[in-house]
Structure 1
Amino acid sequence: MTTGAPLDPIAEARRQWLRRWPEHAEHMAAITSVMRVQQILLGEVERALKPYGLTFASYEALVLLHFSRAGRLPLGKMGERLMVHPTSITNTIDRLQAAGLVRRVPDPADRRRVLAEISERGRQVAVAATEVLNGIDFGLGMLSEREAVALSGLLRRIRQAAGDFGPEAADPWASATG
């Protein structure tokens, strides 16, 4: 990782693109910026979660269970809500179970189906890890609340175009940006 480099590599790439493909330069710079920011934010969030033995993916799964009414959900539903492949959620639950944060239980409504259920220790870890992430504003502390809302709104447009949700889905940021 570099710190305080005298040259912004993305700005330099943009400059080169402007010379060769000016009609695509801003989109190239935007995607490169998004990808780099994703690396930065994931690194910061994962450093904050490391004392809890969590990755961001396992934190998201743990918090999803913590927020659920009964503290348990089918693995398939978790994969859908977290927008990950079924294999990924299985591996995540395996790691959380090995750490004693969740357990697999049979679904009382359909014993062929398995649910992930958060343990009391899992609830404690979810709360403590959330406090730490809230304390660093999930790595976005340099943005004002208004800027974070604007960023979420812009990224939502990309997610919608990719099919993450349909046009009928309510936009929770619409009133916050207007």
Structure 2
Amino acid sequence: MSGSGALPFDPIEEAHRQWVDHGWDEAADGMAALTSIIRVEQILMARVDAQLKPLGLTFARYELLVLLDFSRNGSLPLGKIGARLQVHPASVTNAVDRLEADGLVERIAHPGDRRTTLATITAGGRRTARRATRTLNEQVFSDLGWSRRDLDALFRILRRLRKASGDFA
């Protein structure tokens, strides 16, 4: 919780108990699991944001920079970026606009298809992406609070749900 400190009880566990007490036993475990995932996402994103904010990045802009940094030529069509990051085209446009304004990305015409625009990472964008990655690796990714075994199990469980939901083939 922000600002007010930790609660003396687990509110999600209490909600689970209430679900059961109200006769929603069949849904109680799912509600508690989903609510826990959402809360953990909030906690982890706060940690990520704390590291990226000093670099002038959001997680969405960081992901876009890293995707371009990892790409063979440092550039990708805007549509492909949206597909790879699994975000709406408007979100890609917004992120590219901000990164371009900061000098981290440039828009260029696709050499083989005049209808396609490429987002291309600049040298400053590469430096920023790599600095942000080092920071996140050291301050967040290397210690999420779970063991490697737990992380592997969690990834496999969540991957099954993502696959069953059509996230990927």
Q: TM-score range by the shorter chain?
A: over 0.9
Task: Give the aligned partner of residue 174 of structure 1.
Answer: none
Q: Secondary structure at the match of 1:103?
A: strand
**Whole-Å separation in 2 of the counterparts to 1:94 and 1:108:** 21
TM-score by length of 1: 0.90
Identity %: 54
Q: 1:51 aligns with which of 35, 51, 54?
A: 54
1:94 aligns with 2:72: no
Pairwise CA RMSD: 1.2
Q: What is the Cα deviation at residue 73 of structure 1? A: 0.2
The counterpart of 1:112, out of the listed 106, 111, 115, is 115
What secondary structure does 2:25 align onto? coil
* Residue segments in structure 2 that go unaligned for 5+ positions in a row: none
TM-score by length of 2: 0.94
Contact 2:65 2:121 in 1 (8 A): yes
How do 1:84-163 and structure 2 match up within 5 A?
Answer: 84-138=87-141, 140-163=143-166
- Could you tell me which runs of 5 or more consecutive residues in structure 1 were left unpaired when the two chains were aligned: 167-178
Aligned residues: 166
Change (3 A) 1:15 1:139: farther
The answer to whether the 8 Å contact 2:77/2:116 transfers is yes
The answer to whether structure 1 residue 33 and structure 2 residue 28 are counterparts is no
Query: Structure 1 residues 81, 50: CA separation in 2 closer, same or farther (over 3 Å shift)?
Result: same
1:76 aligned partner:
79
User: 2:8 corresponds to which residue?
Assistant: 6
- How many Å apart are 1:18 and its aligned residue? 1.4
